[in-house]
Amino acid sequence: MPTTTVTPVEKNERSTTTMKALVFRGPHKISIEQVAVPRPGPGEAVIRVTLTTICGTDLHIVRGEYPVQPGLVIGHEPVGVIHELGVGVTGYKVGDRVLVGAITPCGQCGYCLGGDLAQCGGPIGGWKFGNTINGAQAEYLLVPSAQANLAKIPDDLTDAQVVLLADIASTGITAAESAELKVSDTAAVFAQGPIGLCATAGAKLKGASLIIAVESDPVRAQMAKRMGADIVLDQKAVDVVTEIKRLTGGKGVDVAIEALGTQETFENALRVIRPGGTLSSLGVYSGKLAIPAEPFAAGLANQKIITTLCPGGKERMRRLMELVRHGRLDLVPLITHTFSLDNIVDAYKLFGDRADGVIKVAIKP
């Protein structure tokens, strides 16, 4: 019998509409699957992802080096268009273009209100996408605490111009900020992967007088100069500690930035800072990290060792977009390859193998 009322079956069909998403099923097991399109609860939003990317951290997850729950959609660097808004989210409308940071603070808890947005709710708690909730390598993405995290994209900026702000730029630039790098300070940046390159850009933005990058890969070394390095040292060809000391008149740099997460780079960063200098660490370490007593001056040299997780939230994203908008920061050259979401597993392989001069890959759902 025909009826004019909406039946529960139709409602169910709507709520189980599916989308493509990259699902982690265990170490070395990722594939595109059909999963339900998320629906926003109060204070949440769902965006249709228009551009995203793959992070080095995603590689750690896929290799089983950073544990997440099997069945999780991974990825944490979303640009998109608002698809659906939950109740209580004000000042936005469906269709607005938005950038969402990799870190999505609630904006309400003690950590957030104390200024530690990345540590929302507890250690590393601000990192939710592709860690504790479904992530961005999908056609649609649920954004928690939407009011604090949807950053509208100015009309004059493209998706490609802003996608790398979500994580690597926010993380990289924060190294010099956390170190309180002053105008005319000298800086050394260890490793010029995507985050190290952004750390180099950050040191330049903060006004360093001399930026020494350390990198042996020729493609990355060249990009380091483009991002603001004055000198790039190849750690395979020279003793970088001796060379950095020589370049700074025997003194050492004011700020050393570690952007790899190994004992060797951490130790070298410690060895090249001047007395009273700062080691600003971005790397993700595993196992044990040792501090040798000699470059640590037995703990008596007024050194500072600082760690920072990517700052998130919509105000951080707005500020970073303004840097791009006014020509202070251009990250588009870092996007060396583009893949469709259907081919994302190939993109993981290329990115993981560092093949074909890859720096970052853009993924288009």
Q: Which spans of this chain sit near Zn ion (rule: CB under 5 A)?
A: 55, 57, 105-106, 109, 112, 120, 167
Integer angstrom CA distances of residue 328 from 36, 96, 359: 40, 25, 20
Minimum separation from the CB atom of position 119 to Zn ion (A): 8
Which one, of 130, 152, 136, lies nearest residue 81 by Cα? 152
Q: Output the furthest CA–CA distance in the chain (Å, rounded).
A: 90
Q: Which one, 109 or 335, has the nearer CB to Zn ion? A: 109
- Closest approach, Cβ 195 to Zn ion, in A, equals 8
Q: How far is the CB of 251 from Zn ion (least distance, A)?
A: 34
- State both tokens at 200: 């180099």
Question: For Zn ion, which is the closer residue by CB, 136 or 179?
Answer: 136
- Residue 120 or 189: the one with the smaller Cβ distance to Zn ion is 120
Minimum distance, C-beta of residue 106 to Zn ion, in the bound complex (Å): 4
- Smallest distance, Å, CB 138 to Zn ion? 16
* Full DSSP string of 302-332: --EEEE-----SHHHHHHHHHHHHTTS---G
Going 258 to 259 to 262 to 268, the CA torsion angle's sign is negative
Nearer to Zn ion, 95 or 115 (CB): 115
Half-sphere exposure of 76 (CA within 13 A, CB side): 26
Minimum CB distance to Zn ion smaller for 102 or for 232: 102
Q: Which CB atom, from 57 or from 280, has the smaller least distance to Zn ion?
A: 57
Report the alpha-carbon distance of residue 47 to residue 100 in Å, rounded. Answer: 10
Say if strands 140-143 and 45-53 run parallel, antiparallel, or are unpaired: antiparallel
User: What are the start-end ranges of the E strands in 7-56?
Assistant: 18-26, 29-36, 45-53
